[in-house]
Amino acid sequence: MSESSADQDAEMARILQQLTFPFSAKEPDLSADEMMRLDSLADQLELQRLQKLQVLQSPETVPSNSKVLSTRFVRTWREKHDDRGNAIWLRRSRFVAREFAWLEPERESLFSPASGSIISRILPTIFLEMRDMEDAILASLDVRDAFLTVQQECPTLVHTSDAGGNVRSFALGRVLPGQRDGSLLWYKAITSYLKKTLDLEEHAPYPCVLKSKDNSCIVMIHVDDLLVAGRKSFVLGRFATELRKAYDISMQCMEKPGDEITFLKRLHVLHHDGRMTIQTHWKHISQLCSLLGMNPKHQNKKTPAHSDIDREDTTEDLSGDAASIFRTCVGILMYLANDVPHCQYVIRHLSTYSSKPTQKSLTVLKHLVAYLASHSEISVSLKWNGRNSGIYHGYPDISQCDNVLEVLTDSDWAATGSRAEVFLAA
């Protein structure tokens, strides 16, 4: 390491120490002047980090007529652990781009293939099926600073002003979070690397999934998070080894009962009876309670739906602030909907009030949140009983019949047509 590089690392370590505070139940409460000083240091640390990673380079390295992006610093308190494993508060700043939709009329070529709730259930199911073999594993991987590893394709300049008022300009050598094509460029980079080094191929119906040619390893890509189901010897051997050569990754593995992994903030637990439960993060319920001014410890509702949910609504509209809180809560619930199927009817009902929430809809919302807060232990449960086993009964050998599709519904969802029509629609 050169002397200048060592000096830079020492300076960054000194700044980091000043941004670290002992952990407490609440974020550190500091004066405005002290917060300004800390934010200025955090911005300085972030710029030095990005320069070291060659994300930010001299503006002279690109033409003066290059694309120009505005930027901002996102400053937050983060719960971290120090080198000794002790919990701390860290004042952190992240430098991100601001690229608005109207700046680029062509939008179709900006998006990467999307993952979804269905495929995030299928991979754990594949793992449960593979457990019939002795060498099966489910792994959750996080790629640190994924975008910052991708080369910039279009010459780009950014201008910034930190908390101290210092104005600087840089050329982007690598992709900066906030760029509208960032996800696509990262997807191209990671899939190209996996295809080249591990001979994986895209699954045509679902391009966010890559698989080995013998189907012994399946990979789902959700931005910088990867979920992998496959043979342990391959996943921990070749796959993890090759990925660490190019990226800084953290990895959690599940292979035996009692193991836990987290993927997309959902806790996956393998139980001794062969089940896998998938539970959402408590923070979503906590946020809902905070927005509605409810104490989660004092809630006790036995059903998701309020008894008046289907009665005619003649109540007054909510005021501006209350309506805004209502819409925020409905957005969170719609994000959670796939993890709480027993609440989906109520969530659908509440979503119809998004444009014009009422006092009654707020009552229904609070009832649902109270139910979720008092039933946080409920989770999605997956169990593999074979390809010919349904939820209620078995089916003939699938090789000798058409594919079987099971559809569950309730009387309210089926009210406009017969059960057969609902089945066909599905």
CA angle 192, 198, 202 (to 5 degrees): 55
Same domain, 251 and 128: yes
The pLDDT of residue 149 is above 70: yes
Domain co-membership, 200 together with 309: no
pLDDT of residue 101: 52
Last residue of a domain, one of 258, 292, 320: 258
Query: pLDDT at residue 22 above 90?
Result: yes
Q: Is residue 225 part of a domain?
A: yes
Domain count, the chain: 3
Final residue belonging to a domain, choices 258, 274, 300: 258
Span 343-358, average pLDDT: 95
313 within a domain of the structure (yes/no): yes
Q: What does the alpha-carbon distance between residue 317 and residue 313 come to, in Å, rounded to a whole number?
A: 10
Is 77 inside a domain boundary? no
Residue 211 sits in a domain of what CATH number? 3.30.70.270
Residues 234 and 137 in one domain: yes
- Tens of pLDDT, residues 193-236: 999 999 999 988 888 999 998 888 999 999 899 999 999 999 99
Write b or e for each residue in 242-258: b if 16 or more Cβ atoms lie within 10 A of its Cβ, otherwise e: ebeeebeeebebbbeee
Tell how strand 167-172 and strand 87-98 pair up. Answer: unpaired
Domain range for 368: 282-374
> Is 216 inside a domain boundary?
yes
Could you tell me if residue 385 is inside a domain? Answer: no
- Clarify whether residues 327 and 365 are in a common domain: yes
The per-residue pLDDT for 325 is: 96
Residues 370 and 397 in one domain: no
Are 185 and 229 contained in the same domain?
A: yes
Structural domain contains residue 416: yes
Domain presence at residue 291: yes
Confidence at residue 331, expressed as pLDDT on a 0 to 100 scale: 96
Do residues 192 and 141 both lie within one domain? Answer: yes
Q: Are residues 370 and 296 in the same domain?
A: yes
Q: Does 299 lie in the same domain as 230?
A: no
Question: What is the C-alpha radius of gyration for the chain, rounded to an integer number of angstroms?
Answer: 25
Q: What whole-number percentage of the chain has pLDDT above 90?
A: 61
Residue 9 within a domain: no
